Amino acid sequence: MGIDSIRRDYEQGSLNRDQLTDTPHALFEQWFAAAIQSADTPDPTAMVLSTASATGRPAQRVVLLKGSSPEGYCFYTNYNSRKAQDLDENPQCCLHFAWLGMERQIIIEGTAERLTDAENDAYFASRPRQSQLGAWASAQSETVASREALDQKFAEATTQFATEAHIPRPEFWGGYRIQPLRYEFWQGGRARLHDRFIYERALSDQGQHLWSISRLQP
């Protein structure tokens, strides 16, 4: 079978205007709760983060959602990593949730801001000890001579904090909140007639944040 003949139809559902919530985060919460419960979505928190450098060079990678509210969507990383450097140079970015087993996708465009030290400390303290040690061991996005060299760094971190009941958060490690400006909700449809709705953020004459809703052609 050639690549050009691999296809399937989308038949699990539809998305109509009367199913939408007034605010996009409320609909996100509905879909996210369904993704958590679905056996077809083994990694419901996985999301593609798209960034661009100050010169416009794009990059994508999968990160994990670790916080969700109407104010934004959070993840954590090494502040010296490529993604962090991109976001510090150019905070405009995009998140993409692809729950393909449910024939659903969500795209969130917005701007990134660093989380506070208090938020970073609280989340780091909740991580498994091995993950905390990994944060100290890895100079994320930098080259490394070999796997053995990386394992050696992990062993050194393990020894360094062997007597510590609580491992401190590295100053170079923390999170970002992506403040949403535009959402797209995509539900696969038969004959490639997918249902797509966008929420776009705007300000009212009174300075209040409002969301406009539009249907897009597939």
For the chain, give every domain's residue range. Answer: 10-125+173-216
Is residue 211 within 8 Å of residue 134, measured between CB atoms? no
CA–CA distances in Å: residue 58 to residues 41, 53, 68, 69, 166: 27, 7, 25, 27, 38
Which residues are within 8 A (CB) of 197 and not within 5 positions of it... i.e. 6 or more apart?
15, 17, 20, 184, 185, 213, 214, 215, 216
Looking at residue 123, its pLDDT comes to 98
Using 70 as the pLDDT threshold, list the residues of the chain that sit under it: none
Is residue 136 within 8 Å of residue 124, measured between CB atoms? no
Looking at residue 29, its pLDDT comes to 98
Looking at residue 167, its pLDDT comes to 98
Where would I find the beta strands (DSSP E) of 18-103? Answer: 46-52, 58-64, 67-69, 72-78, 92-99
Residue 192: active-site member: yes
Task: Give the residues across from 201 on adjacent strands.
Answer: 211
Global pTM?
A: 0.94
Catalytic-labelled residue, pool 17, 57, 190, 192 = 192
What is the CATH architecture assignment of 10-125+173-216? Roll (2.30)
Q: How far apart are CA 159 and CA 125, in angstroms?
A: 19
H helical segments located in the chain: 24-37, 82-89, 117-126, 129-137, 147-160
Looking at residue 209, its pLDDT comes to 78
Residue 40 backbone phi and psi in degrees, to 5: -85, 0
Shortest CA distance to 95 belongs to which of 80, 84, 110, 85?
110
The whole-angstrom distance between residue 63's C-alpha and the CA centroid of its chain comes to: 5
pLDDT digits (tens, 9 = 90+) for 119-154: 999 999 999 999 999 999 999 989 999 999 999 999
Q: How far apart are CA 75 and CA 63, in angstroms?
A: 7
pLDDT digits (tens, 9 = 90+) for 7-27: 999 999 999 999 999 999 999
* 108 CB burial (10 A radius; 0-12, 13-18, 19+): buried
What b/e string do you get for 205-214 counting C-beta neighbours within 10 Å, with b at 16 or more? Answer: eeeeeebeee
